[in-house]
Each structure stands twice: as structure tokens, then as C-alpha cells.
Copies of this chain bind each other. A is one copy, B any other.
Amino acid sequence: MYLLRRGDPTMFETFWRGPIGESATLVIPGYQTMSYFSDVGNLCWFLEPGFEREVRRLHSLVGNAAVEGYHVLVGTGSSQLFQAALYALALPTANAPVSVVSTTPFYSMYPPLTDFLNSGLYRWAGDANAFDGDDYIEVICSPNNPDGSIREAVLKSKSGKDIHDLAYYWPQYTPITHMLAHDIMLFTVSKCTGHAGTRIGWALVKDKEVAQKMSKFMEQSTIGVSKDAQLRAAKVLGAVTDGYEHQLAAAAGGDANLLFHYARRKMAHRWCALRAAVAASGIFSLPNEVAGFCTFTKDTVTSNPAFAWLRCEKQEVEDLESFLRENKIITRSGTKFGADQKVVRISMVDTDEAFGIFVNRLATIK
């Protein structure tokens, strides 16, 4: 069985086994990271200053999001930050829970993340395009999980609020076309460098009061965020930025030290292979390729989404997830994303071996 249900970004492991890996090695002596506190003077008192520094350095390098004037918050993955944002934006005084919406197809985890505790503060309300009202929280995932599309908010109301989930707004997945500066922007080490197991995400938040409430959420939920995990993430992000700075200094060739260049080349290669397999099979279709000028790499490139949103054009196949499972390919059905059964989401960031088996298998399905 080839499991592509989750976007486990293990494909970047090869990069971290390369020359840059050594500089990312973390050593923690037995007596370190013992206190709950990282920085008592900070609004986010459990934020490791070294992690914040590397977050700001990396965004300054890539130019994908503004950091000047923003508060940096750390979370146990961006899923905790997503819930923290819901908590911060909901009004505890309101009579009814605030509606949380996102344009279909939306990330399959948004509904359960919103509803699993049956909170009186917020409630999942489905497709943003079908929503009618002034009070809402709209989640904008861009590039979008599952279909890779570039998105903006579809609802406009003074009392409505937005959360921008930018987990995939990195050069390996999409051209960086703008330095975004939204009120709440969520990122995660998992999709940026591939370190999903470290469970570290961060938020860039403009408003101080919102940042305070989000920090309060992490305080209540888990009494802050593991320092060891933050130190690990700081090491890894630092190694990425260092890789570019040293490369520029040395003017050397190759991309063994350049995460985004390495990862983009790998992703582009995989998309090529997938498109070839889809053509060979003849019964599937993929979203159209999107291209743009990347301000980071200074060239025009196509996007290489972390997921393939694969549709089946064959009349008889009604439930594509089941059909692919019969062919030993495990995917996640479109129904989980607010879409139909004839489409599935497939991870493009698994290991080389798993990806190779998958495309070979897909190409032969008729």
C-alpha cells in the first residue's frame, strides 16, 4: 500500500543528510531548557529568542512575508496556532459561536480542528462562498491545500476577520510574487524545511491584543511550547539562511546548500513525472500549471504544489478514493475537503521510493 493520505514531508531528508546537515545538528546538555520561561519580558513568554531571530532572518531572506512591526508567536505546529487564532478572534461575549469558513476545496483538518471540542466560541460553517452574514472568521490557505491555488479572501465585511494559512508559501512550492502583510499569517517548519516531527509553527501577528490572546491560548492549552523543539527549529531555519549567505559569499555552484533551490528542483521533477503518468494513463486530470516571476530566485517559474489534486475523468468511477485503493494507492477523498468523490488529494512530498512506486502504478491504471 502506498500511503499518501498525509503530507509527511520526508522527501527533504536527503537534503538534510547532505553537507548542510552537520551545521543543523543540535546539542542540548542535560541542564538546559529546564525553566518554563524563555523570555519573561516578551508578550509570548515561552518564545525562545533564538527561534524568533531565525524566523525573522528567514523571512527577510525569502521576502515572502513582512516581519517589521509584527509580533512573532510560536506554536506546537501551525494547527495549534490556527486554534489560537480562532480563540483570539472569537468574541467570548457573543450569544452564538462565530462561523468559521473557507473556500471549497478547503484543508480537510479545518472542520475537525474547529469543532472537535464543541466550543461555544466558534463553529465550522463550511464554504466561504456560500456564507451569508457579517460576522465570521475566514481562513485563507495560499497556496491552497489541497489544490495549490493562490487565494485571497472572498468575504468582505468590517466585522469579519481573516486568518492566512501560509504553510506552503515558500519558493519550492510556488513563485514568491509578493511580500504578504496580512493581520495573521501562519507558517510551519514542517512544510518549509520538512521537519514535521519537531511540531513547531509560528505566527506573524500585527495587532498586539490579538497576539496576546493567541499567546494566552498556548499558555492554557500546553503551558507554552517545548524549548527543545524551538531550539531544534532555530538550528534548522538558521542552517537554511546560512546556506544562502555562505553561498553568496563563496559564489559557488550547485544547490546542495540551498534548501529552496534543491527542493524546487526535486518538486519540479516530481510534477513532471506525475504529469507524464497522468498522460500515460489517460483517465485523470490535474489543475492547470500556474507560473509567475519569483522575486526570491529572480526568474519565472511554475508552481509545484505539495499536493496533487487529482480528478478522474472516467464516467464509471464514482468514488476515486476507493478506486485508487483497489489499485493500492491510499489517498484522501475530495469529500473531506468539501468537494466531490471524483477527486482526491495526493501527497507530493513523500520519500523518493514511495513516490516512484506511486507514479509507476498510476501510469498503468486504465
Return 23 A-B CB contacts under 8 Å, by A number.
A16-B30, A16-B31, A17-B30, A22-B29, A22-B30, A23-B30, A24-B30, A25-B29, A25-B30, A26-B27, A28-B232, A33-B197, A37-B197, A76-B222, A83-B221, A87-B117, A113-B220, A116-B217, A118-B119, A198-B227, A221-B221, A226-B226, A226-B228
Most chain B CB atoms below 10 A, which of A13, A92, A222 = A222
Name the segment of A4-12, A130-138, A297-305, A357-365 touching the other chain.
A4-12
Q: Is the CB of A198 within 8 A of B25?
A: no
A163 proximal to B (CB < 8 A):
no
Q: Is A292 an interface residue (CB 8 A)?
A: no
* Contact between A198 and B33, CB atoms less than 8 A apart: yes
A55 at the interface (CB under 8 A from B): no
Residues of the B chain whose Cβ atoms lie less than 8 Å from the Cβ of A190: 36
Q: How many residues of A contact B (CB 8 A)?
A: 64
Inter-chain contact B199/A226, CB cutoff 8 Å: yes
Minimal Cβ-Cβ distance residue in B for A229: B226
Contact (Cβ within 8 A) A25 B25: no
A residues whose Cβ falls under 8 Å from a Cβ of B: 6, 8-10, 12-13, 16-17, 20-31, 33-38, 76-77, 79-80, 83, 87, 92, 112-113, 116-121, 190, 194-200, 217, 220-229, 232, 235-236, 239
Please name all residues of chain B whose beta carbon is closer than 8 Å to the beta carbon of A200 when the two chains form the complex: 226
Question: Contacting A80 at CB < 8 Å: which of B23, B195, B222?
Answer: B222
Contact A12 B30 (CB under 8 A): no
9 nearest A-B residue pairs (beta carbon)? A24-B30, A118-B120, A21-B30, A16-B31, A197-B227, A226-B229, A33-B197, A76-B222, A199-B226
Given contacts A35-B10, A35-B196, contact A232 B228 (CB under 8 A): yes
Complexed CA–CA distance, A220 and B10 (Å)? 21
CA distance in complex: A6, B35 (Å) = 11
Copy tally for this chain in the complex stands at: 2
A226 CB contact (under 8 Å) in B119, B194, B198:
B198
CB-contact partner of A223 in B16, B29, B38, B79, under 8 A: B79
* Chain B proximity of A335: nearest CB distance (Å): 19
Q: Is the CB of A25 within 8 A of B23?
A: no
Nearest CB of B to A280, in Å:
30
Asked if B118 and A221 make an inter-chain contact with CB atoms under 8 angstroms apart, the answer reads no
Task: Check if A222 sits within 8 Å of B77, measured CB to CB.
Answer: yes
Enumerate chain B residues within 8 angstroms of A33, measured Cβ to Cβ.
195, 197-198, 232
Determine the chain B residues whose CB is within 8 A of the CB of A112 once the complex forms: 220
* A347-B261 Cα distance, complex, nearest whole Å: 51
Residues of chain B lying within 8 A (CB to CB) of residue A21? 29-31
Q: Which residues of B contact A117 (CB under 8 A)?
A: 87, 117, 119-121
A27 CA to B200 CA in the complex, in Å?
18
Contacts of A235 in B (CB 8 A): 30
Given A25-B29, A197-B224: 17 more A-B contacts, CB < 8 Å: A8-B37, A9-B34, A10-B34, A10-B35, A17-B30, A24-B29, A33-B232, A37-B197, A79-B222, A79-B223, A117-B121, A119-B119, A198-B228, A199-B222, A199-B224, A222-B222, A228-B229
Interface pair B8/A196, CB less than 8 Å apart: no
